[in-house]
Amino acid sequence: MAKKVTPTETERCIESMIAVFQRYAGREITNSPNTLSKTEFLSFMHTELASFSQNQDPGVLDRMMKKLDLNCDGQLDFQEFLNLIGGLAQACHAAFTTQQPSKKI
Amino acid sequence: MAKKVTPTETERCIESMIAVFQRYAGREITNSPNTLSKTEFLSFMHTELASFSQNQDPGVLDRMMKKLDLNCDGQLDFQEFLNLIGGLAQACHAAFTTQQPSKKI
């Protein structure tokens, strides 16, 4: 019997990003299952990133969608979605490193 | 008392990426705690992504480090690290969507 390998934290994280994207991209029956429509993007933001989106001006999410949609097709593909996650992670990391003293733990 | 909010899958994923980066960036006492040295990068790859790195030619990780190090300072900062994670996620997602029939679940 094949030995079951427990995924590492990084592997779980990669799996999560794919699973979350597929979950929201697969919501609308009329839209491609491999891209996020505007409605699917808003659903993702209001559910997965509610603590961020609930304090934003209503136009902010519209502008975010337009900025993330690099090929201007009105959809977010997986790479465009990763740019969003990466941008948020970068902002959180910058806030974290500003708060922490610059020394080895 | 403040209500404890359970993080969403996306929030946990962002937290994990920051935590993993900080864990490996903080390994070498002689190196900045906010960047991965070559040794710290190899430690990360051999531990967190062993299933990927163990089957690679020894020169592959050297070339990956050079390709990821966009500013050529011999270190990987958090953005350069995110490019690695994003690239791997993109490759996994591409393999996943190739295997799956293109239909709504």
Of A78, A85, A104, the CB nearest to B26: A104
In chain B, where the domains are located: 34-93
C-beta atoms of B93 and A29 within 8 A:
no
> Residue B59 in contact with residue B98, Cβ under 8 Å?
no
Q: Of A18-27, B1-10, B16-25, B27-36, which gets the smallest average pLDDT?
A: B1-10
- Taking CA atoms, what residue in B is nearest to A27? B104
Phi, psi angle pair for A76, to nearest 5°: -110, 120
CATH of domain B34-93: 1.10.238.10
Phi, psi angle pair for B96, to nearest 5°: -65, -45
Amino acid making up residue A37: S
Report the percentage of chain B scoring pLDDT > 90.
70
Q: What is the pLDDT of residues A11-60, one digit of tens each?
A: 999 999 999 999 999 888 887 889 999 999 999 999 999 998 988 887 99
Q: What is the ipTM of this complex?
A: 0.88
pLDDT at position B2 is 66
Flag whether residue B12 sits within 8 Å of chain A, measured between CB atoms: yes
Q: Rounded to an integer, what distance in angstroms lies between the CA atom of residue B54 and that of residue B46? A: 7
pLDDT at position A102 is 54
Which residues make Cβ contacts (< 8 Å) with residue B30, sequence separation at least 6?
none
Place of tokens 């299952």: A33
C-beta atoms of B90 and A79 within 8 A:
yes
Q: CA B10 from chain center: how many Å?
A: 16
Q: How many CB atoms sit inside 10 A of residue A8's CB?
A: 17
Q: Does domain A16-87 have CATH number 1.10.238.10?
A: yes
Flag whether residue A78 sits within 8 Å of chain B, measured between CB atoms: yes
pLDDT at position B96 is 82
Q: What is the pLDDT of residues A54-105, one digit of tens each?
A: 888 879 999 999 999 999 999 999 999 999 999 999 999 999 888 766 554 4
B29 contacts in chain A (CB < 8 Å): 104
Length of chain B: 105
C-beta atoms of A92 and B26 within 8 A:
no
> Residue B93 in contact with residue A82, Cβ under 8 Å?
no
Helix and strand element counts for chain B (H, E): 5, 0
Flag whether residue B19 sits within 8 Å of chain A, measured between CB atoms: yes
Length of chain A: 105
A5 contacts in chain B (CB < 8 Å): 51
